A and B are shown apart, each in its own frame.
Chain A
C-alpha cells in the first residue's frame, strides 16, 4: 500500500537507515507519516487521498490563477512553475547505484505506480481535455484556446504525469493483451487508447491538436514552418506505418515496448533519460522550428490509427465557417501541408489512361502484399535479434560451438552471458525458448511484411485518384486540427446583411 511512495521525497525521514534492503526507504516514510500525521489504520485511505489531492491542487493552482493575472506575468509563472516541477521531479531520495561491472541502470520506462483513484482521475482529465479542445476547435474556432490546451497538456500529461500513460504507447499494451492472454490490460490504459480514437472518429484529430503531450511540445516550437514538397511529405508519411508494424510486432511477442523506449520527449518530461535520447529529443525540437511536428507526422504510430479514424469523421473542423470565397489566404497556412486545394481543372491525361493505371495498381496490391510477406519472413531473424532471449541464445550457441564457457576467464563476458552462466540454466532449455520466439517472429514477419505491402499498394493506388473539389478543405486524415488555418479565413460565421 505504501510502496507507491517509496521514492517520493516528501519529508526527510528522521529514522536511521536500516542495513538490509533499503529498510528506511519504504518503511521510514510510513513511520514519518504516522509521526507527522498521527492517523490510525482506518484513516489510511484519507491519508492517501489528501496527499494525492494536494499534488493535483499544486498542479492546478497556477492554472487557476491565470485568469486573474495580467498576461505579462504568465511567462514568469510558467518559468517558475516548470522550474519547481523540474526540481521536484528530479529530487531522488537515492542516487542510482553504481555497479563495479560497469552496468548502468537504465532510465525508467514506467512511472511510479499510482492509486486507482488517481488513475481514474487521469482518465477523467483526458475526457475533459478532449471535450474542451473539441469544443474550442469546432465551436469557438479558437487557435488561442488550442494553444493554452497545449500548455496544459505539457504540464499535466507531460511534466506531472511524466508522459505515462500516453495514448501513443498504449497501443502496445493493446497488442500485448491481444496476443498474450495472461496479460490483463488495465482499464485506464484501454481508456487512453480508445478515447482519442472515438473522438477522432467523430470530430477529427482533436487529440493531436493539443491534448497529446508529445505533439504539444513540438507545436510550441513551430515558429518558422516550411512547406515540404508533397512527394517528400507523402514518402516520409509512410514511416509511421513501418513503426506501427514494428511496435505491434515487438509488443505482441513481449519483446519490448519500442515506442516507450524510443520516445524522444519523455526524457524531458521526466528529467531523466539516456544522453542519446536527450540529444534525439533536442534534435526533434530543433527540427520542429522549421518542419512542424516532425514526430507526429513522420514517426508517430498512433497517428496512423487516428488518421484512419479521422477520415470518417462527420464533424471534422472546416477552414471556413461558412461558404468559401476562394480568397486563397489559407492555401499555405497549414504548417503540416494538410490543406487540399480545389481541383476543378480538366484532367491532364486521358481518363482511359488514368483508369487503366488505377486498375493495374489495384491488381498489384496483392502482389505487393505477397512480396512484403515473403520479405518479412526472410527478415524475421534480424527482427528477432531484438528479443533478449534470442540474442542470448545466439551468443550461448556460439560459445558452446567454440568449446563452451571458460570459467577461469570471465572478464570479457557480457553482463547477459555472465548472468546466464550463473543461473545454471541448461543450454537446450534456452534454445527451446529462443526457438519458440523465432517461430513467433517468423509468423510476425510475414504479417508485418504483408501489412507494409498493402500500405504501399493502397498508397500508390490512392495516388492515381483525382478528387473533384471546389473549396479549400482540410485533409481529414492528415489534418491535426490545430486551428491555425481558421485564423486566416476572413469569412465570418454569420453574415449579417445590412440594408
Chain B
C-alpha cells in the first residue's frame, strides 16, 4: 500500500513538472513566434537607414562593413528564432506525450472512481431538452435569415444582368471584325473601322500582296508562278460561295489564293535545307546524308572551323543555302547573325533596335533561358527572329530589315522560348504567354496579323511543330492543359486533347499518324490521329522536362533532363531500351543519317544508332557547355555551344 502511494506521488510530481514545463514552453513559443513573425531581416529599418547613408556616400568602406555585419546578425537572429520555434514545438510535444503517459499511469493506479450521485429526473430532462432544442433551432433560423437579408446582394441577378449587357455590346463590336469559328479572330492586313464589302476583300488584299511581293522578289530569285494564271477564275468561283456563306469563307478564300499565288519553297527545298529549330517542320528529323559521327573539339579532329558568337543565346542554328543564322541577346542588345557556313565567317550582323512598341526594359529571365531562346526560321527569302522581350524582326537574306514589330511583353517566368515556324505566307508564332496566350499567324511580307487564335492554356515553352498528317498540314502545339492542332493558314483549331499539364517545355513529335507529347510531372502521351484524335497509350515512368521527343521508323526516342534516354515502340508504347548518361539533356535529339544526335548539358554530343537496341557510336566533346540542338547540311554538323559555333565535317 505504501509502495502504491509512493508511486502515485511520484506520478503526480512528474505530471506537475510536465504541465509546468509544457506551459513554460507554450508561453515561450508564443512570444518567440510573435517575434519571429514580426521580424524581417531584409526590411530592417536600421539597415535600410544605413544603406540610405551608404548610397549618399558610396566610398565609406567602414559603413559598408558595418551594414554587412548588421545584416548577417539580423539574418542569424531570424534563423535562430525559426530554429527556436521548431525546437520548442518538439519539446512541447514531448512534454505532452510524457504528461499523457503519466496521467494514464495515474488513472491505472487510482483505480475506478465510482460516482453514485443521482441523475436528474428523465422526464424533466426531456422537457428541458425540448425547450433548448427548440430555442437553438429558432436561433439558427433567425441568424441565418438575418445574415441572408443583411448581406443580400442579389448577386445572381446582378451577374445575369452584367452578362446580358456585355452580350448586347458584343455584336456591335464584332461587326468590325470578320467572325470565324472556334474563337479565331482573323484580322485582315488593311483592317480598319470601315470594313469593305466582303467580295472586295480578296481582291484588295491580293493587289497589296502582289505589290509587296514584287519588292521582295526583286532581291530574291523569283520563279515563274504557274498557278497564278487561273487565279481570277478561281476568285469568281469563290465569290459565289461568299454570297452564300458568311465572311469566314472570305478569309479562307483570301488565304487560299495568296498561298497559291506566291513563291514558296517546296517540300524538297525545305528538306534540302535546315530552316527551323529541329529541322524540317521542327519535327526533329533531318534528311541529309554522310553526316560525320566522330570528332573532338580538343584535338581539332574533324573540326572544320570555330567561330566565337558575339552575344550568347540558346537558339539553335538554322541554315538556308550557304547561310547559317543565329541570334544572341542580353538585357541591352539583340542581334541576328548570318554566317557563311563554308568558311565560318560572319557575313552580317543585324542590330535589332528601335522596334515599334518594344519595351524599354527587357523582362527578367533566368540564365538557362535567356533573351534569345527562340530559334529563327527562314523560307529562303526572309529570315525571322524573335526575342524574349517580344521583338520580332523579318530580314532578307542580305540582312536588310523588311519589317519589325513587338508582340507584347512576355513576362514568363524563366523567359520566352517558343521557336518560329513558317508555312507559305504565314509566320506561325506560339505566343503562350502569361496574359492572353494565343497562336499568331503573321503575314511574312509585312508582319500584319492574318489570324490570332486565343488559347485557354498556361505559359508554354514548347515550339510549334508543322507536319503533314496525310491529308492536310497541321501545326501542333503543347501547353498546359492541351495538345492541340490548328490549320496553319487560318489558325482554326482542328482538334485538341486534354492530356498534359505543368510547365510544358518539350515540343510534340509526329510520326506514323501519331503525335507524342510529354512533360515532367505529367505524362508521356501518344495521340492517334484519325477522325478524332484519341489517346493511344500513355506512360509516366520517364518524363522530359525540356528536350522534345522524335519519331522515326515506328520508334519514338525520348531524352530526359536527368540524363536518361529511352526508345519506345511508337504504336504499342513498349519500351525497347533506356540508357543513362552522365549529364542531363536540355537539347533535343535529332535524327540524321540513321543515327540520333543529342547534346548533353556538359557539351558532349552523343551519337547513337537509331534502332530497337541501344548502340552508342560516339560521345564527342564540344569543349564547352551547350544546350542547343545541332543543324545538318551537306555532310556537316553545325553545333552551337555556349560560346562558339562549331562546324564538324570531314
- State A379–B142 Cα separation when bound (angstroms): 11
Instruction: Tell me whether A379 and B561 are in contact in the complex, defined as CB-CB below 8 angstroms, given that A235-B133, A400-B162 are known contacts.
Output: no
Among candidates B93, B151, B158, residue contacting A382 with C-beta atoms closer than 8 Å: B151
A210-268, CB < 8 A from B: 220-221, 223, 227, 229-232, 234-235, 238, 242, 268
B137 at the interface (CB under 8 A from A): yes
Stretch from B123-131, B197-205, B319-327, B420-428 forming part of the interface with A: B123-131
Please tell me if the beta carbons of B366 and A464 are within 8 angstroms of each other in the complex: no
Contacting residues, chain A, for B578 (C-beta < 8 A): 41
By a CB distance below 8 angstroms, the chain A residues around B160 are 431, 435
Q: Which of B177-196 contact A (CB under 8 A)?
A: none
Q: From known contacts A456-B137, A463-B126, infer whether A223 and B98 are also in contact, taking CB-CB under 8 Å.
A: no
Known: A23-B584, A456-B137. A1 touches B152 (CB 8 A): no
Among listed B219-227, B281-289, B539-547, interface-contacting one: B539-547
Interface size class of A (residues with CB under 8 A): 35 or more
* A-chain residues with CB within 8 Å of residue B103 when the two chains form the complex: 221, 223
**Contacting pair A234 B129 (CB below 8 A):** yes
List residues of chain B with CB within 8 A of the CB of A74.
101
- Provide the bound-state CA to CA distance between A435 and B157, in Å: 9
Tell me whether A341 and B119 are in contact (CB under 8 A).
yes
Chain A interface, DSSP helix/strand/loop, else mixed? helix
Q: Is the CB of B90 within 8 A of A26?
A: no
Asked if residues B132 and A23 are in contact (CB atoms below 8 Å), the reply is no
Please indicate the chain B residues that have their CB under 8 angstroms from the CB of A439 in the complex. 156
- Chain-B contact segment, one of A117-125, A198-206, A421-429: A421-429
Q: Contacts A20-B545, A381-B148, A428-B162: A3 and B521 contacting too (C-beta < 8 A)?
A: yes
Closest B residue to A361 by CB, please name it. B130
Q: Which residues of B contact A103 (CB under 8 A)?
A: none
For A421, give the chain B residue with the smallest CB separation: B435
Which residues on A sit within 8 Å (CB–CB) of B134? 456, 460
Binary contact track B103-132/A, C-beta < 8 Å → 1, others 0: 111110000101111011111111011111
Pair B580/A375 contact, Cβ less than 8 Å = no
Q: How far is the CB of B158 from chain A (nearest CB, A)?
A: 6
Among B162, B366, B546, the one with the most A-chain Cβ atoms within 10 Å of its Cβ is B162
CB pair B368–A19 under 8 Å, yes or no, is yes
Q: Does A331 contact B116, Cβ atoms closer than 8 Å?
A: yes
Contact: A331 with B130, CB < 8 Å?
A: no
Interface string of B563-596 (1 = CB under 8 A from A): 1000000000001001010001000000000000
Cβ-based interface call for A75 (8 A): yes
Report if A394 contacts B (CB, 8 A): yes
- Nearest residue in B to A220 (C-beta to C-beta)? B100
Is A487 part of the contact surface with B, judged by Cβ < 8 Å? Answer: yes
Q: Are B117 and A332 in contact (CB under 8 A)?
A: yes
Q: Verify B521–A26 contact, CB threshold 8 A.
A: yes
Most A C-beta atoms less than 10 A away, residue of B120, B130, B367, B546: B130
The digit string for B415-453, where 1 denotes a CB below 8 A from any CB of A, is 000000000000000000011100000000000000000
Q: Hey, which chain A residues are within 8 Å of B331, CB to CB?
A: none
> In the complex the two chains form, what is the Cα distance from A422 to B131 in whole Å?
55
Q: Is B21 an interface residue (CB 8 A)?
A: no
Q: Which residue of A lies closest to B149 (CB)?
A: A378
Q: Which residues of B contact A371 (CB under 8 A)?
A: 141
Cβ contacts under 8 Å, B520 to chain A: 21, 26
Interface centre among A82, A234, A394 (most CB of B within 10 A): A234
Name the distance in Å between B105's Cβ and chain A's nearest Cβ: 8
User: Tally of A-B residue pairs with Cβ under 8 A?
Assistant: 201
A21 to B546, CA, bound (A): 10
- Residues of B contacting A285 with CB < 8 Å? 96
Q: Which residues of B contact A227 (CB under 8 A)?
A: 115
Q: Establish whether residues B148 and A379, one from each chain, have CB atoms under 8 Å apart when the complex forms.
A: yes
* Chain A residues closer than 8 Å to B369, beta-carbon distance: 20
Closest residue on chain A to residue B522 by CB atoms: A3
Most A CB contacts (10 A, CB to CB) among B153, B414, B562 go to B562
Residues of A contacting B94 in the complex (Cβ-Cβ under 8 angstroms): 79, 82-83
Q: Are B561 and A18 in contact (CB under 8 A)?
A: yes
Taking a contact as CB atoms under 8 Å apart, the answer to whether A459 and B155 are in contact is: no
Interface check A86, CB cutoff 8 A:
yes
B86 within 8 A of A: yes
Contact with A along B15-46 (1 / 0, CB 8 A): 00000000000000000010000000000000
Question: In the assembled complex, which residues on chain B have CB atoms less than 8 Å from the CB atom of A27?
Answer: 560-562, 584
A390 adjacent to chain B (CB < 8 Å):
yes
Interface residues of B in 159-174 (CB under 8 A from A): 159-160, 162-163, 166-167
Contact with B along A1-27 (1 / 0, CB 8 A): 101000000000000001111010011
Whether A428 contacts B167 by the Cβ 8 Å rule is yes
Encode A381-413 as 1/0 by CB contact (under 8 A) with B.
Answer: 110100000100110010010000000000000
Give the residue of B90, B119, B137, B546 whose beta carbon is less than 8 angstroms from that of A20. Answer: B546
Decide if B117 touches A464 in the complex (CB within 8 Å).
no
Interface size in chain B (residues, C-beta < 8 A): 81
- How many angstroms from the CA of A438 to the CA of B156 in the assembled complex? 7
> Are B101 and A75 within 8 A (Cβ)?
yes
Whether a CB of chain B sits under 8 angstroms from the CB of A432 is: yes
Query: Which B residues touch A378, using CB under 8 A?
Result: 144-145, 148-149, 152
Residues of A within 8 A of B584 (CB): 18, 23, 27
Q: Which residues of A contact B33 (CB under 8 A)?
A: 275
Instruction: Confirm or deny: B73 has a beta carbon within 8 angstroms of a beta carbon on chain A.
Output: no
Cα distance A459–B116 when bound, in Å? 29
B residues less than 8 Å from A28 (CB atoms): 562
Residues of A within 8 A of B86 (CB): 90
* Other-chain contact of B130, A349, A372, A463 (Cβ < 8 Å): A463
Residue contact A231 to B149, C-beta cutoff 8 Å: no
A378 to B572, CA, bound (A): 56
B119 and A394 form a contact (CB under 8 A): no
Chain B nearest CB from A326 CB (Å) reads: 13
- Option from B107, B116, B435 in Cβ contact (under 8 Å) with A423: B435
B148 and A375 contacting across the interface, CB-CB below 8 Å = yes
Highest count of chain A CB atoms <10 Å: which of B132, B575, B584: B132
Interface flags, B69-112, vs A, CB<8A=1, else 0: 00000000000000000100110011011101111111100001
Q: Tell me how far the C-beta of A31 lies from the nearest C-beta in chain B, rounded to whole angstroms.
A: 6
The answer to whether residues A343 and B159 also contact, given A19-B368, A379-B145 and a CB cut-off of 8 A, is: no
Q: Is A147 an interface residue, CB under 8 A from the partner?
A: yes
Report yes or no: B159 in contact with A393, Cβ–Cβ below 8 A.
Answer: yes
How many whole Å from B199's CB to the nearest CB in chain A?
A: 32
Whether, in the assembled complex, B493 has its beta carbon less than 8 Å from a beta carbon of chain A, the answer is no
B112-A488 in contact (CB<8A):
yes
Q: Which residues of A lie under 8 Å from residue B123 when comparing CB positions?
A: 347-349, 466
Partner of A381, one of B114, B152, B367, B546: B152
Contact of B133 among A435, A459, A488 (CB under 8 A): A459
Q: Is A58 an interface residue when CB atoms closer than 8 A count as contact? A: no
Q: A476: shortest Cβ distance to chain B, in Å?
A: 17
- Cα distance, A371 to B137, chains bound together (Å): 11
Within 8 A of B (CB), among A39-67: 41
A235→B148 contact, CB < 8 A: no
10 pairs from A and B in contact (CB 8 Å cutoff) = A20-B561, A78-B97, A223-B103, A231-B132, A378-B145, A397-B162, A423-B435, A431-B160, A452-B140, A460-B134
**5 nearest A-B pairs in the assembled complex, by CB-CB distance:** A27-B562, A332-B115, A378-B148, A75-B101, A231-B129
A-side residues, CB < 8 A to B, are 1, 3, 18-21, 23, 26-28, 30-31, 34, 41, 74-75, 78-79, 82-83, 86-87, 90, 147, 220-221, 223, 227, 229-232, 234-235, 238, 242, 268, 271, 275, 285, 328-329, 331-333, 341, 343, 347-349, 368, 371-372, 375-376, 378-379, 381-382, 384, 390, 393-394, 397, 400, 422-424, 426-428, 431-432, 434-435, 438-439, 442, 449, 452, 456, 459-460, 463-464, 466, 487-488
Residues of B at under 8 Å CB distance from A? Answer: 33, 86, 89-90, 93-94, 96-98, 100-107, 112, 114-117, 119-126, 128-134, 136-137, 140-141, 144-145, 147-149, 151-153, 155-156, 158-160, 162-163, 166-167, 366-369, 414, 434-436, 503, 520-521, 540-541, 545-546, 560-563, 575, 578, 580, 584
